[in-house]
Structure 1
Amino acid sequence: MSTDASRKPNYNRRFLWLALFIVVLFGGYSAGWFYLAGKLENEARANIANLNRNGVVAECTNVSARGFPFRLGLFCDRIYFEDARQGVSIATGSFRSVGQIYDPRHLVGELDGPARIDVPQIQPLALDWGNLRASVRLAQPLPQRLSVEGKELHARTVTGTELATIKTFESHMRPNGANIDLASSFSDLTLDPSVVGGRTVPPLSGQSDITVNNGVQLINERVQSLRGQSGTIRMLDLSTGESTGLSLTGTFSVAQDGLLDADLRVTVRDPQGMATSLGNAIPELRKQIQQGFMALAILGDSPSMPLKISRGKATLGFIKLGRLPPLQ
């Protein structure tokens, strides 16, 4: 037998080459991660600097990129924005955003409270929350999907006066061809009596599912007027209890002069329960409310009626409701 055939494989050399390969691979990956992190920090600082002009002050305190080795995102200790011309300022707690290295187009961000919001003509607001998170899947020309969700939101004046609380809330936006789909929901919205003129309003919950026609173009052009817009309401729902509430579906359009046209359908769940809730909230109209909803109760537990609006003139079934003012 030849000596070559009897020679044993050199496992030590193979192990050495494997170890060297892993070191080089990890070192190259690490260098690439820190390169991208530095580039992300520089771009963030440049974008913030570009905002600081024409009376605008924007701050992202101690901005840094973190998440090594498998994530990459921006962190700030504090967010501050002020537009002196508009008289608006917002100050919040820390901010965190992160994306997975293997899926960089999907970003998630979290914002900590409390926050102070100053806008003209109202008292400064103090907001706090248990959790506030946003996620976005990037695409062109608009994100494929944008979502915001939170829980345990408390709204007060900066002097401590309670205004409202919300147990949970969320909203979503996505392009649908040339249109934009918008969906949102909230639960257990409690309004302090001081906000509604001393009235007692039951905890409210709601849902919406709306499509805005040509919404992609409207967002790209930053159109702020409702005039000339149209869409479909698949669901617009407000609940005052587990089985009590109102829902609205149908289509709408707004003319260039601001007058609304709509072909809608209104459904009332538990008319007697709605009469009680509205009567408690508007005691001066309790008798009229009870009479109106008593007539609806004859039609069943969830009566439904057409709501037509033509050039601003609204009619519910055969009842003329009046004229709506032009929308802006």
Structure 2
Amino acid sequence: MAASSGSARKAYLWIVAVAVALFLALSGAWYYLAAQLEARVDAAIEDAAADGVEIGCPNRAVVGYPFRLGLRCDAVTVDPRGEGLRLTAGALRTAAQIYQPTRVVSELDSPLIVNAPEAPPLDIRWQLAQASASFWTEGLDRFSLVVEAPDVALAQPAAGRLALATAEHLEVHVRRRDADLDLALSDRGIRIVAPDTPPLPPFDVALDATIAGAADWLDGDAGETPRQVLAGHAATLRALSIDLGNAQAELSGTFMFDTSGQLSGDFELAVTQPQQIATLVAEALPEAASVANSIATALSFVGRQENGRTVIAITVRDGIVAAGVIPLGSIPPLQ
């Protein structure tokens, strides 16, 4: 019995010793990684400052010991010097599992105040905003953003907020696929509530597309204007849809913008209640009103019926829109 008791005691001591050693190793690894994270954040802020962008993160701290590693600050500010633009948001919290440091989850508190030159400040609020980012050998590999109850308004210091638009749920997903970039977006329960806007029903918007040769956009190498960003990239639009409940429209096809910003492509448009859709497009994008109304008219003449929807093939050549031989209007070039 004494020998058996002594063996059990030794085994117990070995277990305790191994547990302590693992704990010390884990603690050492965490503090080492925490120091590395702190140094990288300092370097990133210094590099941004050298490029003329001041980033603020007051009361910054590395948190999550012992199994997570993350950054916390009481607020976030981004101020590109000399441009008159300033972004101010609430508290930021990020975290990565210590055994999976390449995937970072973050949460940002409302509101986001956007001050831009020659424009009234925007006050953007939400109930919850969470993002996740995965990194691999080429840098950012995929990114997702989920926002609950986004609410966009003009900030009016003397009179509170002037509401512009709200939604129920917004999701954005971006991923690198070889040299291409996959994009997916859904925004449910959108309401346009801006002053002097005719009453519109709530609607949903969804997007699913791939842009060839655009994976480098995830590294910030995209260009400064929409024309610079999109010119020369062939794109596949699997679906761009809008749903008003009793009226829907879905656009699919392939397209490209040339170096002058002109659009060319081949599309298929499937619509129920086309005039209602055209009215919504005209309200949201007045510059596209004539094209939307022309398409709604053309659908009744040359569209075919499929599964309760009217479907029409649309071609765009250097911004000129047509359904077969029927001209529908023009789309202005990107700037």
TM range (shorter): 0.7 to 0.9
Percent identity, aligned pairs only, is 28
- Contact map agreement 2:186 2:207 (CA 8 A) in 1: yes
Residue-by-residue CA offset, 1:10-69 (whole Å, 9 max, x unaligned): 222332232222222212211221222133123213322332346432111111111112
Structure 1 portions without partners, runs of 5+: none
Equivalent residue number for residue 166 of structure 2: 165
Whether 1:131 aligns to 2:131 is no
Distance 1:77 1:272 in 2: 49
- Separation in structure 2 between the aligned mates of residue 27 and residue 279 of structure 1, nearest angstrom: 65
Q: Deviations over 1:64-104 (max 9, x none)?
A: 11111211111111101111322110111100111112221
User: What does residue 231 of structure 1 align with?
Assistant: 235
Whether 1:308 and 2:308 are equivalent positions in the alignment is no
Return closer, same or farther for 1:54/1:24 CA change in 2, 3 Å cut-off: closer
Equivalents in 2 of 1:322, 1:70: separation in Å?
A: 59
Partner of 1:249: 252
Secondary structure of the corresponding residue to residue 140 of structure 2: coil
Partner residue of 1:295? Answer: 300
Amino acid at match of 1:216: A
Q: Distance in 1 between matches of 2:154 and 2:2?
A: 87
Other-structure match for 2:44 = 47
Deviation at 1:185, TM superposition (A): 0.6
Pair 88,257 (structure 1): closer, same or farther in 2 beyond 3 Å: same
The 5 Å alignment of 1:146-295 reads 146-159=143-156, 160-194=161-195, 197-217=196-216, 220=219, 221-224=221-224, 225=228, 226-241=230-245, 243-271=246-274, 274=277, 292=297, 295=300
**Is the CA contact 1:125–1:156 (under 8 Å) kept in the aligned structure 2?**
yes
2:103 is aligned with 1:96: no
Q: 5 Å matches for 1:3-82?
A: 8=4, 10=6, 11-53=8-50, 55-82=52-79
Structure-2 change in CA distance of 1:294 and 1:138 (3 Å): closer
Deviation at 1:309, TM superposition (A): 0.7
The separation in 2 between residues aligned to 1:19 and 1:219, in whole angstroms, is: 47
Report SS of the residue matched to 2:77. strand
Q: Which amino acid aligns with 2:317?
A: S
| TM-score, reference length from structure 2 | 0.85
CA contact (8 A) 1:99 1:105 kept: yes
Q: Following TM superposition, by how much is the alpha carbon of 1:178 offset from its aligned partner in structure 2, in angstroms? A: 1.5
- For residues 280 and 17 of structure 1, the distance between their equivalents in structure 2, rounded to whole angstroms, comes to 74
One-letter code aligned to 1:256: T
Shift of 1:218: 5.4
Q: Distance in 2 between matches of 1:61 and 1:294?
A: 57
Counterpart-to-counterpart distance in 1, 2:328 and 2:130: 41
SS in structure 1 at match of 2:32: helix
Query: Which has more radius of gyration?
Result: 1
Call closer, same or farther: CA 1:320–1:14 in 2, change over 3 Å.
same
